[in-house]
Amino acid sequence: MTPHSLLLIDADPAVQDHLTALLGGAGRDIRHTADGRDALATLRQDPIDVVLAGQGRNGFDGLKLLRQVRSIRPETKIILTGDPDPQRIIRAIRQRAYSYFHRPLPEGPLADMVSHALDATEWQDDVRVISARPEWITFEVRCKIETVDRTTQYLREMTADLPLGTCDDVSAAFRELLMNGIEHGGKNDPRKRVRASLIRTPRSIIVHVHDPGSGFSMDFLPHAAISNPDDSPIRHVEVRVEEGRRPGGFGILLTRNLVDELIYNERGNAVLFVKYL
């Protein structure tokens, strides 16, 4: 089996050692460099699966590297790290960075994202930016389950300035609704897309998700926990087994407990939630 290749860019040897220990493992070829020039030389010489671009020497700019790598190795996935700057994050999304993390880096989510990136194929056009201002950003997300964590991480970065509990609630609620839109509305059909918007006001966070499906009725969701009768709190689990569905069905119920308002349109193929600040 051909090993996966990972290039780490950081000027701090201690950071490189830490990331190597975190991300290393069987079947992974990890290389290091401290600046963009050496990174480009490496990429010209050999194909690299994933680049994790941190704080390099000599004013290294991961966004500039991202543009250059696109012309050399368009198949290479780049995960940028840096400041929690909304404009920088938007530029990273527009230039098709695979993901973005602000520092200090969260070890578990970063390791998971690197694993996803190493395994990803046909990923370049999975997340599109339709409109982007820090106070209103709209994505179009291909109906593939593997796009959920990428898109959720971008939303988490756009709300990183909020209290941690609020950021966690908004991200978890968004993830559940996006998952529902892709799985139930889009039927996991990669030819279809879910449109998702994050809107910020001085007093609230608003998320709107519109899927390509025909919708559903809130009065008939036997496979969802929200529909369980009082005398059968796990009835939806039984229904899902009977219908051959994957375990789950807690999305709407969970989301209602995380946000302040949750509203579906008449057809049931669009949902909006509000989290007050």
* pLDDT given at position 254: 85
pLDDT at 252 over 80: no
The larger pLDDT score, comparing residue 214 to residue 216, is at 214
* pLDDT given at position 67: 87
pLDDT (tens digit per residue) in 179-215: 999 998 999 999 999 999 999 999 999 999 999 999 8
Pairing label, strands 50-53, 77-82: parallel
Average pLDDT score over the chain: 88
pLDDT (tens digit per residue) in 31-88: 999 888 899 999 999 999 999 998 777 667 888 888 888 889 999 999 999 989 999 9
Yes or no: say if 208 and 196 are a contact pair by the CB < 8 Å rule. Answer: yes
Mean predicted confidence (pLDDT) in 98-117: 96
Mean predicted confidence (pLDDT) in 79-98: 92
C-alpha to C-alpha distance for 91 and 169, rounded to whole angstroms: 25
Yes or no: say if 78 and 97 are a contact pair by the CB < 8 Å rule. Answer: yes
Q: How far is the first Cα of the chain from the last one, in angstroms, to the nearest whole number? A: 50
Which domains, from first to last, does the chain contain?
1-122 (3.40.50.2300), 125-277 (3.30.565.10)
237 confidence band (pLDDT: 50, 70, 90): very low
